[in-house]
Structure 1
């Protein structure tokens, strides 16, 4: 698995080029390790939570679903990771995630300077506000035996008028 890195480590003292190759390989490995250990799997944790609790997309949401929400969490996690670790450039991963979700509204291209705009912050805030509402609506519908909450409220109001 790390055969190439062991070779680079062993050869690092042979010259400046070998030392630079070792340093680059080590930095890449450390970045990957930190990412895996911190927030890289947050979208998987959310999916596991969603599935284990038996939640379903509430009837109030028709344009997105768990796959979309997990992808957005993955995007926000990658952006957060880059910021926390002092990266100056947009990673290929963040660029790909943003390109795959044009409706999200973020504008990050791989290799460009990483700048977080007020719009980015607003998008993150709105997403998590909506996600909390989605979870709440889903929990209410689960508790109501799968009946749509909004429809139930309207049905109850209509029943009251008939009486």
Structure 2
């Protein structure tokens, strides 16, 4: 079973630091995905102390992030193709937009709304971990994990609520 940490909307340095619980929850992951709005590249350096990081830029980034990170990208972990983008559009259009942007991806990871989302749509898992630092209208901040099973060719997402 492959484990992938998923995080988005950290907004550092507006929010002073990444949550302490992150180190416990991501201690066993082989890869971390950051779905944008990190704001500064230092976030990647901190996360890389745990595992390699694949990230995209969001819509609230300092110039160093804009110059370094793509708007969208695809990665493959085991047998699982994963699309990553910050903004997927309106909730009612998630499935359509995800399929247009990443037609061959088994999973599409996104952020922006700060609202956790973990749903399958016609064989494509759409996964938003929520925000690790800014809960907005949510009861708590959150991160996520993907569990990829190459033997059964399956993947599932888990939203992790932070206290």
Q: TM-score range by the shorter chain?
A: under 0.3
Return the TM-score normalized by structure 1. Answer: 0.25
Greater relative contact order, per chain length (Cα 8 Å cut-off, separation 6+): 2
Return the TM-score normalized by structure 2. Answer: 0.25
Structure whose CA Rg is larger:
1
